[in-house]
Amino acid sequence: MNLIVEKNLYLENKETRSFLADAFYQNAGQKLPLVIFVHGYKGYKDWGAWSLMAEKFAEAGFFFVKFNFSHNGTTTDDPLNFGDLEAFGNNNYSKELSDLGVVIDHFSKNPHVDDEKIVLMGHSRGGGISIIKTFEDERINGLITLASVDNLDRFPKGEAFENWKNNGVYYAVNGRTKQEMPHYYQFYEDYEQNIHRFDVERAAEMAKAHMLIIHGTEDEAVEVKHAEHLHILHPNSELFLIENANHTFGAKEPWTETDLPKDLNTVTKKCIDFIKEKLK
């Protein structure tokens, strides 16, 4: 069976701006479960080994989608670089949830998709976004978090916060590209205005979907206690810890090898088995 890969599909969101998505699937003559991958902070759809992971899901019988948030710093002309730092600085959680809604609406109508089997799979901050969307959207019946945060209050504290408020912007250095990436104060204002909506803990408690929580024990960016906390909050969740795995499960950018890193391969197999078991 031939793998079909549709790259850089153009999606329009009137609330934010246009962005790109990729679809990986096989034309199997039947409707396929939809798996949507949600990238995290300073992430993008083509980072590292995500495309190799996407191929594995498609080969296993899923319609796999990954996309760039509209304000993640990439553009529709150049999805591989952070060429629009102004957009990055104007990103916020409301925009990300809006973009994810557009992705779900668009691909759930695809003729190859079974719209009664929709799974969100979020990495890092994308995990928090996916938890909230799963609670809000009853169409979603599977939820997988990879190295996810358990809250979205990820802002500067103390004097650093006061400086941010007074200056209107703070900068975070991208360790890989060395770019100084702006965060405008509107990000926090949006959070404050929607603080109940952005309560990841409450959403995890209330979400009805089957939930798989995956985390590496040596995650340098999001401590493993976040995963353990999410597991406590969602009584029917499954916690799967990978010994010595880091935040990206061995992947890095660029990823030039033809195979997945060992830990990410373990993640992918576990996810596939989980979805097949829970969404029969």
pLDDT cut 90: percent of the chain above it: 98
Give a yes or no: residue 40 inside a domain. Answer: yes
Average pLDDT score over the chain? 97
Residue-wise pLDDT for 214-269, tens only, equals: 999 999 999 999 999 999 999 889 999 999 999 999 999 999 999 999 999 999 99
pLDDT band at 171 (very low <50, low <70, confident <90, very high): very high
Q: pTM score, two decimals?
A: 0.99
Name the residue range of residue 232's domain: 3-153+199-278
Give a yes or no: residue 172 inside a domain. Answer: no
CB of 127 closer than 8 Å to CB of 147 = yes
The per-residue pLDDT for 263 is: 98
CB of 181 closer than 8 Å to CB of 172 = yes
Give a yes or no: residue 75 inside a domain. Answer: yes
Give a yes or no: residue 159 inside a domain. Answer: no
| CA gap 188, 171 in Å, rounded | 14
Whether 1 shows a pLDDT value over 80: the answer reads: no
Give a yes or no: residue 230 inside a domain. Answer: yes
Concatenated DSSP letters of 45-112:
TTSTTHHHHHHHHHHTT-EEEEE--TTSS--SS-TTS---HHHHHT--HHHHHHHHHHHHHHHHTSTT
The per-residue pLDDT for 202 is: 98
Give a yes or no: residue 186 inside a domain. Answer: no
Beta-bridge mates of residue 38: 122
Give a yes or no: residue 221 inside a domain. Answer: yes
Beta-bridge mates of residue 119: 35, 142
- What the block records as the tokens of 99 is 């973009």
pLDDT band at 5 (very low <50, low <70, confident <90, very high): very high
Concatenated DSSP letters of 161-229:
HHHHHHHSEEEEE-TTT--EEEEETHHHHHHHHTTTTT-HHHHHHH--SEEEEEEETT-SSS-THHHHH
| CA gap 264, 266 in Å, rounded | 5
CATH number at residue 227: 3.40.50.1820
| CA gap 169, 177 in Å, rounded | 20
Give a yes or no: residue 128 inside a domain. Answer: yes
Q: Give me the number of domains the chain comprises.
A: 1
